[in-house]
């Protein structure tokens, strides 16, 4: 049976790649299709260890979604009531999430699969990925590349300053379990046990 966005309570499997990072930094996450964009923003922050210091926006099909500013001439559609399913609805569709307009971190988000919920699984859930998210205010992909070069070279003139700025950092660190624990803690209310009357699907927006 084909699964479409017209099916009740479908799950979108998204592959999220941080643009212009080498080796690639990416995550695979399963999210209910009805998830509103503000909640998706929170999920993406947790997936990449961002700390929410900066502004963000979503870009899909030539339209920008975010929090409108009446003093900004940049046309922005209010994201607060927009579901994920309005951004993508077919496998292979994609859109962008931009975080920190100074560093300009661009996340390429691809709809990998449309799935039915698995009983006793709570969503959202991260299922795969690679490498740590960059530190905040690293200077975008060029600044992050320089940061990695410096902290990896004890003889570099800026080595001690970089360590003092951020402290220890492992660019290869990644844990599905740790990310899912963070996603769990971010839920509006604590999850019920999987054997509850709702069937334990844990579908939350």
Position 195 pLDDT exceeds 60: no
Enumerate residues 6+ apart whose C-beta is below 8 A from 64: 57, 58, 74, 75, 76, 77
pLDDT digits over 89-134, tens only?
999 999 999 999 999 999 999 999 999 999 989 999 999 999 999 9
End-to-end CA distance of the chain: 25
Is residue 198 one of the residues assigned to a domain? no
Is residue 146 one of the residues assigned to a domain? no
pLDDT digits over 151-165, tens only?
998 999 999 999 988
Per the structure, the complete domain to which residue 56 belongs is given by 11-131+175-185
How many separate domains does the chain show?
Answer: 1
User: Between 159-166 and 140-151, two packed helices, what is the crossing angle to 10 degrees?
Assistant: 110
Is residue 71 one of the residues assigned to a domain? yes
What pLDDT was estimated at residue 6? 55
Is residue 157 one of the residues assigned to a domain? no
How do strand 56-60 and strand 125-130 relate by DSSP bridges? unpaired
Tell me what the mean pLDDT of segment 62-66 comes to: 96
Is residue 4 one of the residues assigned to a domain? no
Position 200 pLDDT exceeds 90: no
What is the domain-level CATH number for residue 24? Answer: 3.10.290.30
CA dihedral 155, 161, 165, 170 (to 10 degrees): 0
Is residue 204 one of the residues assigned to a domain? no
Confidence of residue 58 (pLDDT cuts 50, 70, 90): very high
Confidence of residue 2 (pLDDT cuts 50, 70, 90): low
Rounded CA gap, 20 and 110, in Å? 16
What pLDDT was estimated at residue 136? 94
Alpha helices in the chain (DSSP H): 37-47, 84-87, 140-151, 159-166, 176-185
pTM for this one? 0.86
């Amino acid at each position: 049976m084909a699964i479409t966005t017209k099916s009740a309570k479908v799950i979108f499997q998204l592959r999220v790649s941080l643009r212009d990072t080498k080796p690639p930094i990416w995550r695979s996450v399963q999210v209910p299709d009805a998830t509103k964009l503000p909640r998706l923003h929170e999920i993406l922050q947790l997936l990449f260890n961002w700390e929410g210091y900066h502004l963000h926006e979503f870009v899909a099909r030539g339209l920008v979604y975010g929090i409108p500013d009446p003093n900004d001439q940049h046309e922005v559609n209010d994201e607060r009531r927009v579901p994920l399913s309005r951004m993508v609805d077919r496998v292979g569709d994609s859109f962008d999430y931009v975080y920190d307009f100074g560093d300009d971190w661009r996340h390429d988000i691809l709809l990998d699969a449309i799935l039915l919920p698995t009983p006793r699984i709570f969503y959202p859930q991260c299922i795969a990925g690679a490498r740590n998210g960059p530190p905040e205010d690293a200077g975008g992909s060029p600044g992050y590349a320089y940061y990695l070069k410096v902290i990896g070279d004890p003889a570099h003139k800026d080595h001690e300053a970089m360590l003092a700025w951020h402290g220890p950092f492992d660019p290869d660190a990644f844990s599905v379990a740790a990310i899912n624990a963070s996603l769990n803690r971010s839920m509006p209310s604590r999850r019920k046990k999987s054997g509850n009357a709702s069937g334990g699907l844990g579908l939350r927006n």
